[in-house]
Chain A
Amino acid sequence: MSGYNKPLPLITPLSKVFYDACRDKKLMYQQCNDCGEIIFFPKHLCPNCMSRNLGWKESKGKGKIQTFTVTYEAAPPEFAADQPYALAIIRLDEGFRMMTNIVECDFNTLSCEMPVEVVFDAVTPEITLPKFRPAVK
């Protein structure tokens, strides 16, 4: 038993591709091979042109903080012990967005548009979560 008691992502045949790559420290997203649409969250059907001809690509893992919040109280119960923790929406340089935690920093220094980079947190033997930290200059 890992002792990790926070919610784990739902693993489907599609999300398994993403999380298997995370375990190898790779952040993957999709691009439509027909129309070029950048796609995340991963899908089977292109939300732009309805093609099913989608391919995986590896992100460089760099982006900017679109917005964030540092939760001090009233978190969902499984996260209460982690308070305060920083939750953010990141705009990746490749043109997709994801929700994540910001780690390895003083939360008081965070701001919108701050450059960040991915780090990988192996929370269980099966699941590695991509998180972000302020970009090393």
Chain B
Amino acid sequence: MGSIRGKAAIVGVGEVPTGMYPERSFIDAAVTASEMAIKDAGIPKKEIDTVLPIIVVANPLDNANMVCSWMIEELGLGKTAKSNFMVASGGSSSANALKTAVALITAGLSKAVLVVHSDRLGTGLDLASAITQFAKVSTSQEYEIPYGFSQLALAGFLQQRYMFDTGTTERQIAAVVVALRKWAALNPNSIFYQKPITIEKVLESPIISTPVRRRMMNKLCDGASAFVVTSATRARDLTDKPAYVLGIGSRCTNFTVTHQPDPQKAWAPAARDAYRMAGIGPGDIDVAEIYDAFPTFVLMSMEILGLVERGAAGKFVEEGHTSPGGKLPVSTNGAMMAQGHTGAGGGPALLVEGVRQIMGKAGERQVPNVKNVVVTGSGGVGMDFHVEVLGKEV
């Protein structure tokens, strides 16, 4: 396998607040996040020759228009751009977009790539439609549709089996929510800014789909984020703190949850590949920005990443090690559970946050002396697992 270690870097990030913003249009959010990323990078916009929009869920027309180069016109890139194409793999779209961007840059086909996401899952879609829409995606029309599957059932399936296999307690699952809400409480862009929660509050909320309780579920939100990728050489001209892409690893394993393999076995090779390319091990990770959607996935992912032994993640989180001030901060923006679920936007939001941690731009959430950050992404019902290692130094 070829290595892209240190050949490209993320040099600028942008994000609008995540939440319920009925007055903020889809395109305004996309343009604002892009403007922030371009200005943060300090890159002349004419250098951006490729735009990679990420799939839009709430509105098929917005999605189609992003496919058809809406951003090129909005950002005035029509005289210099070479390509605009959508990267779409659900929650792993940003991981695949970063992989694509790095490949294009490393091959010399692009100078600078803008990855942009915007969606309006909070106010652009009513909840019943959202449940119906998500319930039918990543589901077999012939053999699964008749039974009443939903994304909440997915959370139930994974949490049920994970607790059975590892002995993880309900209190430990609740502790994941609490830890993410502590981070979100420090994040002005999160829907739960300055709103932490207690374990008791999580545990007293009603069961929605066993063993998942209401406050173990994420909240659908509006949001937008963007980042700019360029070559390591160009990155060093632009900033003294580029977030170098040191390693990428991924596995794509299944379509439906029925055929999801044992994640530990099937997806751990993605982490191994990323670490090997980066030339580091899990012990060298200072911050983990872990894709969630729901709390069990955080615990599973910590184990897949080798940050803790299998079955030990719940206790580790309960002891506070992943919270602010802990020895291994996890998902410092609050992730989808606590920043808000913006469709395919959970992935780019975590990448943006990982870059902030490397560049020292994470405000109250800044973890001291960050050298290496690991970021994950996963799409569908858990159809794949993507791992990126970002670093301060090559």
Q: List the interface of chain A (C-beta within 8 A of B).
A: 6-12, 14-15, 18, 40-42, 66-79, 82, 85, 87, 89, 97-101, 107, 111-113, 123, 127, 129
Question: Which residue, of A79, A112, A129, has the highest number of chain B Cβ atoms within 10 A?
Answer: A79
- Choose the segment among B168-176, B201-209, B299-307, B338-346 that binds chain A (4+ C-beta atoms closer than 8 Å): B201-209
Given contacts A97-B258, A97-B259, A111-B164, contact A69 B156 (CB under 8 A): yes
Knowing A9-B141, A10-B141, A112-B164, the reply to whether A72 touches B206 (Cβ < 8 A) is: yes
B159 and chain A: residue at smallest CB distance? A69
Is B148 a contact of A85 with CB atoms below 8 Å?
A: yes
A72, B128: Cα distance in complex, Å? 15
Given contacts A69-B211, A99-B257, 13 further A-B contacts (CB under 8 A): A15-B142, A69-B156, A71-B148, A72-B206, A73-B207, A75-B150, A77-B128, A89-B157, A99-B144, A99-B256, A107-B210, A111-B164, A112-B164
B208 touches A73 (CB 8 A): yes
Q: Which residue of A lies closest to B128 (CB)?
A: A77
Majority SS at the chain B contact face: helix
B86 to chain A, nearest CB (A): 26
28 A-B pairs whose Cβ atoms sit less than 8 Å apart in the complex? A6-B146, A7-B145, A11-B142, A15-B142, A15-B143, A68-B156, A69-B160, A71-B152, A72-B207, A72-B209, A72-B210, A74-B131, A74-B150, A75-B152, A76-B131, A87-B148, A87-B153, A97-B258, A98-B143, A98-B258, A99-B149, A100-B147, A101-B147, A101-B148, A111-B164, A112-B161, A112-B164, A113-B164
State the CA gap A117–B142 with chains docked (Å): 21
B258 touching A99 by the CB < 8 A rule?
yes
**A67 touching B150, Cβ below 8 Å:** no
B135 contacts A by Cβ under 8 Å: yes
Residue of A nearest to B127 (CB): A74
Q: Which residue of B lies closest to A77 (CB)?
A: B128
Q: How far is the CB of B79 from chain A (nearest CB, A)?
A: 47
B158 at the interface (CB under 8 A from A): yes
Does any Cβ of A come within 8 Å of B232's Cβ? Answer: no
Contacts of B146 in A (CB 8 A): 6-9, 123, 127, 129
Give the most central of A9, A69, A72: most B CB within 10 Å. Answer: A69
Query: Which A residue's beta carbon lies closest to that of B155?
Result: A69
Task: Give the contacts of B121-147 with A (CB-CB under 8 A).
Answer: 128, 131-132, 135, 140-147
> B143: which A residues are within 8 A, CB to CB?
9, 15, 18, 40-41, 98-99
The number of residues on chain B lying at the interface, defined by a beta carbon within 8 Å of a beta carbon of chain A, is 36
A68 to B158 Cα, complex, angstroms: 9
Count, A-B residue pairs, CB within 8 A: 124
With A9-B145, A15-B143, A87-B147 as given contacts, are A67 and B132 in contact (CB-CB < 8 Å)? no
| A69 touching B153 in the complex, CB below 8 Å, given contacts A112-B160, A112-B161, A112-B164 | yes
A42 to chain B: closest CB distance in Å?
Answer: 8
Partner of B210, one of A6, A18, A70, A123: A70
Using known A-B contacts A72-B209, A76-B131, determine if residue A67 contacts B149 with beta carbons closer than 8 Å: no
Known A66-B161, A67-B161, A89-B258; contact A73-B145, beta-carbon cutoff 8 A: no
Is the pair A69, B258 in contact by a Cβ cutoff of 8 Å? no
Interface string of B238-266 (1 = CB under 8 A from A): 00000000000000000011110000000
Complex contacts, A129 vs chain B, CB 8 Å: 146-147
Q: What are the residues of chain A within 8 A of B258 when measuring CB–CB?
A: 89, 97-99
* Given contacts A97-B259, A111-B164, A69 and B157 within 8 Å (CB-CB): yes
Q: Which residues of A contact B208 (CB under 8 A)?
A: 71-74
B217 to chain A, nearest CB (A): 8
A-contact 0/1 string along B197-228, CB 8 Å cutoff = 00000000011111110100000000000000
What mask results when residues 247 to 288 of chain B are scored 1 for a CB within 8 Å of chain A, else 0? 000000000111100000000000000000000000000000
Residue of A nearest to B141 (CB): A10
CB-based contact A9/B148 at 8 Å: no
CB closest residue in chain A, given B152: A74
Q: How far is the CA of A111 from the CA of B157 in the complex (A)?
A: 12
Query: Which residues from chain B contact A77 at a C-beta distance below 8 Å?
Result: 128, 131-132
Considering the complex of A and B, which 7 residue pairs feature the smallest CB-CB distances, nearest first? A69-B156, A79-B148, A67-B161, A10-B141, A15-B142, A112-B164, A71-B209
Residues A68 and B206 in contact in the complex (CB < 8 Å), given A15-B143, A77-B132, A87-B148: no
